[in-house]
């Protein structure tokens, strides 16, 4: 492998030693040849990553998950490029702006995240997932930002302004446990634990990017902003993007229900339209000044729950495989690029203390997120459905950082002053690599130590998934203490989620689909494929 890569890299070096510049500008043919070699190298790395990932999965080698293997491939190729003195030319092959992430790489990854949600475990745990993803992400963002700011005040870390610390807290709170989820599937973890981890990671991306955009806006207009205006901007961004995504999803469901496209000779048209709707949602939100990533996420959730069942069987198989494919390619490329970037780019490694203490602060913030939210959820749930402590620990440990955090950090280089943005980008890249390599590689061992392995069944947490969704009406004969009042309000909120499930089953599903709300959706897997990696998981 190393010999082949070095030969490809040497092909790019011109006799003048530049690999570009005037020589390449005066010879378009050489420019085209260099571009071809760059694309060839990228394809080689993708092929190697998929093959290596398949071998690792086949031999159940959990210490080096697929995402970790992709990172290592990028690191090795970047190191070989440095050794071969071709860093200028090879960097040009990978030198794309954050727009490339947000326009071409993240949309299929995020859409597949929403599209992979299996409705039954997702809606059965809807209240808990929303609590972890929205309230928990907010807690984690604020705790991280405050700790980083305080660390700067006492000279533990590189000092950043408070708003920039909150921006860093928001972007680094975006979890992407692709490695953990793939291991969950292999080991047979409880379906509800899987749904909590997966559902939180899906929705918390939307929360993290909305918080980041809000903090960025606050930084740009700090003198004229007050607290209520900040809240309004956040709600405008998040709710507006959510509404755009849900609206496009519902429109697509009605189109496929009444247009009569589910016949054999119209399969190509059916598939083309289905593939175009997610990008329509994304571009609509961006055009309205909202967040396309949030919009396409909820479009994926709605299209899977409603539109998908209106497709013909052949089209269902095709669109499932297609989105698995492109999201898998996109995410693998992101992890390769992150490894390559660590080896190639000039990072602010002088602030190693910022990286070290940021990892500690993130662990503390993750604990504040998981355990406080689990406490609130358990106040509502009856004893058989409460989240046990071992599942809470698994939730805490599964908070890896990935593509979304990396993309937002890449954007922060342009949003913040040069030194500050570069420091945040370096810290985020290092945190992503370390969490994927170390936490991802040790997940199997930790899960066995927590005794949650081999629990893939409808156990105690799933006994009450049907009927009233585990809701227990509050007793108004209890003493009116503040704790009981809080508990009753939380139970009322939980009742509203149960009511939504009934509304969906009795009204929304019959209206937007061709099936009865009581019908079982046979195409839904009880444990959905992990983000971007599900295509590899099919045997």
SS3 528: coil
SS3 189: coil
Nearest to 170 by CA among 291, 335, 51: 291
Neighbours of 380 (CB within 10 A): 25
Q: Which residues contact 239 (CB under 8 A, 6 or more apart)?
A: none
SS3 348: coil
pLDDT per residue rounded down to tens, the chain (539 residues): 555 555 554 544 443 444 444 444 556 667 777 677 778 888 888 999 999 988 887 887 777 878 888 888 988 888 887 776 555 555 555 555 567 777 888 889 888 888 887 667 777 788 888 899 899 999 999 999 999 999 999 988 889 999 999 999 999 998 876 667 777 777 777 788 888 888 888 888 888 888 998 888 877 765 555 667 778 888 888 899 999 999 999 999 999 988 877 666 778 888 999 999 999 999 999 898 888 888 998 999 899 989 998 988 888 999 999 999 999 898 888 888 888 877 776 666 667 888 899 999 999 999 999 999 999 999 888 888 889 998 899 889 888 777 788 888 888 888 888 788 888 988 888 888 888 888 877 877 888 888 877 655 444 333 333 333 333 333 334 444 555 655 565 555 555 556 667 777 788 888 888 865 555 444 454 444 444 444 334 44
Q: Kindly report the three-state secondary structure assignment for every residue of 453-470.
A: CCCCCCCHHHCCCCCCCC
Instruction: Give backbone dihedrals phi and psi of 479, rounded to 5 degrees, phi first.
Output: -60, 140
In angstroms, rounded to a whole number, what is the distance separating the alpha carbons of residues 376 and 389? 13
In angstroms, rounded to a whole number, what is the distance separating the alpha carbons of residues 530 and 98? 24
Nearest to 298 by CA among 259, 266, 250, 261: 250
User: What's the DSSP call for residue 527?
Assistant: S
SS3 401: strand
Q: Which helix (H) or strand (E) holds 426?
A: helix 418-434
In angstroms, rounded to a whole number, what is the distance separating the alpha carbons of residues 228 and 214? 12
Instruction: Give backbone dihedrals phi and psi of 477, rounded to 5 degrees, phi first.
Output: -90, -5
In angstroms, rounded to a whole number, what is the distance separating the alpha carbons of residues 171 and 169? 6
Nearest to 308 by CA among 537, 515, 130: 515
């Amino acid at each position: 492998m190393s010999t082949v890569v070095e030969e490809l890299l040497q092909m790019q070096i011109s006799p003048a030693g530049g690999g570009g510049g005037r020589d390449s500008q005066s010879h378009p043919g050489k420019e085209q040849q260099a571009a071809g070699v760059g694309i060839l190298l990228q394809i080689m790395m993708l092929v190697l990553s998929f093959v290596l990932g398949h071998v690792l999965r086949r031999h159940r080698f959990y210490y080096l998950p697929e995402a970790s293997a992709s990172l290592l491939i990028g690191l090795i190729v970047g190191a070989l490029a440095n050794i071969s003195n071709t860093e200028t030319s090879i960097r040009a092959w990978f030198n794309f702006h954050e727009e490339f992430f947000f326009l071409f790489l993240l949309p299929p990854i995020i859409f597949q995240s929403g599209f992979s949600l299996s409705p039954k475990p997702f809606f059965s745990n809807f209240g808990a997932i929303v609590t972890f993803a929205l309230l928990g992400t907010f807690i984690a963002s604020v705790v991280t930002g405050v700790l980083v700011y305080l660390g700067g005040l006492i000279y533990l870390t590189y000092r950043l302004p408070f708003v920039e610390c909150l921006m860093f807290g928001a972007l680094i709170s975006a979890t992407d446990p692709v490695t953990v989820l793939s291991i969950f599937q292999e080991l047979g973890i409880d379906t509800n634990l899987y749904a909590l981890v997966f559902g939180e990671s899906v929705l918390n991306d939307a929360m993290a990017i909305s918080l980041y955009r809000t903090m960025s806006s606050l930084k740009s207009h700090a003198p004229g902003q007050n607290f209520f205006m900040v809240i309004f901007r956040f709600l405008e961004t998040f709710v507006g993007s959510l509404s755009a995504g849900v609206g496009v999803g519902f429109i697509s469901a009605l189109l496929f229900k009444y247009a009569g496209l589910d016949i054999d000779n119209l399969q190509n048209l059916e598939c083309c339209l289905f593939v175009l709707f997610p990008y329509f949602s994304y571009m609509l939100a961006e055009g309205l000044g909202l967040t396309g990533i949030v919009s396409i996420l909820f479009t994926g959730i709605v299209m899977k729950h409603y539109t998908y069942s209106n497709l013909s069987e052949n089209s269902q198989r095709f669109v499932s495989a297609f989105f698995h494919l492109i999201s898998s390619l996109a995410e693998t490329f992101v992890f390769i690029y992150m490894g390559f970037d660590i080896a190639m780019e000039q990072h602010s490694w002088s602030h190693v203390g910022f990286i070290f203490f940021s990892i500690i602060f993130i662990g503390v913030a993750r604990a504040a997120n998981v355990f406080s939210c689990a406490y609130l959820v358990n106040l509502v749930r009856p004893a058989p459905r409460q989240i046990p402590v071992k599942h809470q620990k698994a939730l805490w440990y599964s908070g890896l950082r990935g593509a979304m955090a990396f993309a937002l950090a890449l954007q922060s280089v342009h949003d913040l002053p040069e030194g500050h943005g570069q420091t945040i980008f370096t810290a985020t890249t290092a945190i992503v690599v370390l969490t994927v390599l170390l936490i991802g590689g040790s997940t199997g061992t930790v899960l066995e130590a927590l005794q949650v392995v081999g629990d893939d069944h409808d156990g105690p947490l799933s006994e009450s998934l049907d009927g009233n969704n585990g809701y227990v009406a509050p007793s108004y004969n209890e003493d009116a203490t503040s704790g009981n009042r809080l508990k009753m309000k939380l139970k009322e909120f939980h009742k509203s989620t149960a009511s939504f499930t009934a509304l969906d089953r009795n009204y929304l599903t019959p209206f937007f689909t061709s099936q009865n709300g009581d019908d079982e959706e046979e195409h839904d897997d009880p444990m959905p494929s992990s983000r971007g990696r599900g295509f590899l998981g099919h045997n």
